[in-house]
Amino acid sequence: MRRRRKYDLYIVVFLALFTIGYFIYNHTSSESRGIENYSEALKSYKNNEYELAYQKFAKVPSGSSLKKPALFRQARCATNLENKELAIKKYNRIVHSGSKSSIAPISEYNMAVLMYDIKDKRAKKHFKKIIKKFPTSDYAIASEYYLGLIELENPPKGEKKIAKSKEKAAIYFKNYIEKAPDGRFALQSIEKIKALDTKLNNYNNLLIAKAYYANGEFENAKAYLNKTTLAESWSDFAKNEYKLGNKDKGNYYAELGLKKHAFNTDQDDVSEVIDNYIAAFPARKDGITRLVNMGLSSTGADYVAYLNCSEVVAENVKEACFRTLYEKYPNGQFSADSLYNIFITKYLQKKYYDAQRLGFLHLKKFPNTKSSPAVTYFMGKIAYKLKHYESANNYYKKVLANYPDTYYAYRANYNLFKEDGALPFGELTEKPVVFPYKKSLDNNLVVKLAYLGDYDLVEELCKKDKFIQSWVAYEKGNYTISVILARNAMEELKNKPPFDDLRWRLAYPTHYYEIVDQVKGNNNPIILESIIKEESHFNPSAKSAVGAVGLMQLMPATYNEVVKKHNLPSDLKAETTNIKAGSLYYEGLKKVLGNKDLYAITAYNGGIGSVTNWFSKLIYSDTDEFVEQIPYPETKNYVKKVLRTYWVYGNVY
């Protein structure tokens, strides 16, 4: 009996182990076969071989994590083959699988659109379901448009019911243009609203005007703005006239609105109008002075005061200007920067105790603003001046820890390690740009799709992730768009990731570095790479408003000088030639300016004549004091941007 029980136990254990082993084997096998079949199917899909691709996607096993994307691709194949009923069935399998992945909302939306196309009444139910389940998604916004169409195309019986249905349709169309004024259905929604001939109030007319404006139809925008009140729409009137090229009219609306109606207007709209107003004057200072003389006291008054203070050159006058601004708006949007300007003026005046007191106040009141890295860094400089060496080093370490990707991190690193003025990085070890995440939601589904090269589906599933959008743009060869998207996404991160994070490679790719390294001459190649990134964002066809051309944004006259001197080819736009000429020009600047990269970078933007003039006019005892006193704001920011980029490149690569 005991032997029998023991034997039975062995059988149970064996069967359990066999089941577990089979499950593991089957799952592993399903995943490997899924990857292989999906990859092969995707090749056919990209070659527009939709029938063959459909059959290959069908071979992805049900146990594979790629089964839902395979069903999605089958639906796309069927759609391209004009078999909408079959496509609906495939989308329906995803929708009713209970999946909570990011592929579910787009599948339900696509299914609803196809149902609408074939006059399937179930479309309405699915569009409403999308709005309820995914209210903030692009699919929910687009569903509003389709629900409006459905109300119009399926009118009920009876006059009252028809009128109510038209009213509902108008609401759907208005909702769409309110949420997506620049959306693909915005202009169609406006046409539908106009066809309904419903009575529009001031707000509705403004919505339509904004949608026309967002789509570049400025004359139509003007027609609807004329149906609104100036009190609510003055900023839109002004912006629209500027777009039409009517500077005088734009200025008229700007002045009228800023004087009388700005208190009830969004800050961003007011700032945009102010920027347009200033740009309408031949000299920037003239526009700012005109605004100052208006004596504004409502929304935008602090911005005008800030712009005016920023234009002041004399340090004593600038300090008084920013002090007045800070005292008038102690908690305004420019208060942190105003306090910083007072602080740095005291530092440059060598009034270290006064500066230190202001620095303590800034760090306490504004712990994480754009000026925080600079204040923290200069608090270290002050501590060093006062012989508090340990405190100084602690401030420098805080800059490196809290603001690792800033110009001031680069300077803090120098002060901590004193490398005799030499740049800490001499060359890069190139690393490829890869998908920016090692893991993702959906059981790493997006990561798998990325490595399989299904860029379009990855792009659709991750519309709100700028780093993934950047990666897709990179893979499609849109390098300039890619680097700008990644840069903006990195700027939005409150806490920066460590430099080995893959997202840094998207924001700071090494395009053209191989050419740079070949033609660098006596220059630091990372500096040249940094100049290219900041000048043109790696766009070889870039051309500035003043006529600078190519990757290194050389003026034709400058290029011609280099060509004659070094016997270069005459094609300024050619990538290698442009970089070579830029390198030679930079090297020439550096030779004249004491072989100092800082001064050469300054001259590359501000001109060598300006730099030599500043040598004699500015009073400074070190690099930091020189940079902070550069009279041209654009040049000062340029120097900081290039050296910041150099610093990040060195850390990432």
pLDDT of residue 471: 97
The gap between the terminal CA atoms of the chain, to the nearest Å, is 71
* Cα dihedral sign, 628-630-634-636: negative
State the average pLDDT over residues 552-569: 89
pLDDT (0 to 100) of residue 645: 98
pLDDT the model gives residue 3: 55
Query: Where would I find the beta strands (DSSP E) of 391-443?
Result: none
Give the number of C-alpha atoms closer than 13 A to the C-alpha of residue 112, restricted to the C-beta side: 26
Residue of 561, 532, 552, 522 whose CA lies nearest to 642: 532
Which of 15-29, 537-551, 608-622 has the least mean pLDDT?
15-29
pLDDT at 276 over 60: yes
Tokens standing for 116? 């609408």
Is residue 27's pLDDT more than 60? no
Buried/exposed code over 261-287 (b: 16+ C-beta within 10 A; e: otherwise): bbeebeeebbbebbebbbebbeeeeeb
588: pLDDT confidence band, cut at 50, 70 and 90?
A: very high
pLDDT score recorded for residue 23: 45
Q: What is the pTM of this model?
A: 0.88
User: How confident is the model at residue 21, as a pLDDT?
Assistant: 45
DSSP label at residue 574: S
Q: Mean pLDDT, to the nearest integer, of 613-623?
A: 94
pLDDT, tens digit (0-9, with 9 covering 90-100), for 111-155: 999 999 999 999 999 999 999 999 999 999 999 999 999 999 988
Return the pLDDT at 380. Answer: 98
Q: Which fold has domain 517-652?
A: Lysozyme (1.10.530)
C-alpha distance from residue 478 to each of 167, 484, 505, 510 (Å): 44, 10, 15, 14
Residue 631: pLDDT over 80: yes
Looking at residue 114, what is its pLDDT? Answer: 98
Give the model's pLDDT for residue 315: 73
The predicted-structure confidence for 238-257, as pLDDT tens digits, reads as follows 999 999 999 999 999 999 99
Residue 10 above 60 pLDDT?
A: no
Q: pLDDT value at position 444? A: 85
pLDDT in tens, 500-558: 999 999 999 999 999 999 999 999 999 999 999 999 999 999 999 889 999 999 999 99
Q: What is the pLDDT at residue 26?
A: 46
Q: Which two tokens stand for residue 246?
A: 């009517």
**pLDDT tens digit sequence for 31-66:** 999 999 999 999 999 999 999 999 999 999 999 999
Question: Per-residue pLDDT tens for 181-204?
Answer: 999 999 999 999 999 988 899 999
Asked if residue 470 has pLDDT above 80, the reply is yes
CATH 1.10.530.10 residue ranges of the chain are: 517-652
Alpha-carbon distances of 303 from 193, 229, 262, 326, 452, rounded to whole Å: 38, 25, 12, 12, 49
Choice between 355 and 102, residue whose per-residue pLDDT is larger? 355
Is pLDDT of 29 > 70?
yes
DSSP, residue by residue, 225-268:
HTTS-HHHHHHHHHHHHHHTT-HHHHHHHHHHHHHHTGGGS-HH
Residue 574 scores a pLDDT above 90: no
- Assess contact for 270 and 263: CB atoms under 8 A: no
Give the CATH architecture of domain 2-222: Alpha Horseshoe (1.25)
pLDDT of residue 413: 95
**pLDDT value at 465 more than 90:** yes
The SS3 call for residue 543 is strand
DSSP string, 109-153: HHHHHHHHHTT-THHHHHHHHHHHHSTTSHHHHHHHHHHHHHHHH
Span 222-245, average pLDDT? 96
CB atoms within 10 A of CB 592: 13
Span 412-426, average pLDDT = 83
pLDDT (0 to 100) of residue 316 = 77
pLDDT value for 7: 57
Residues of the chain with CATH 1.25.40.10: 2-222
pLDDT value for 198? 84
* CB within 8 Å of 354: residues ≥ 6 apart: 346
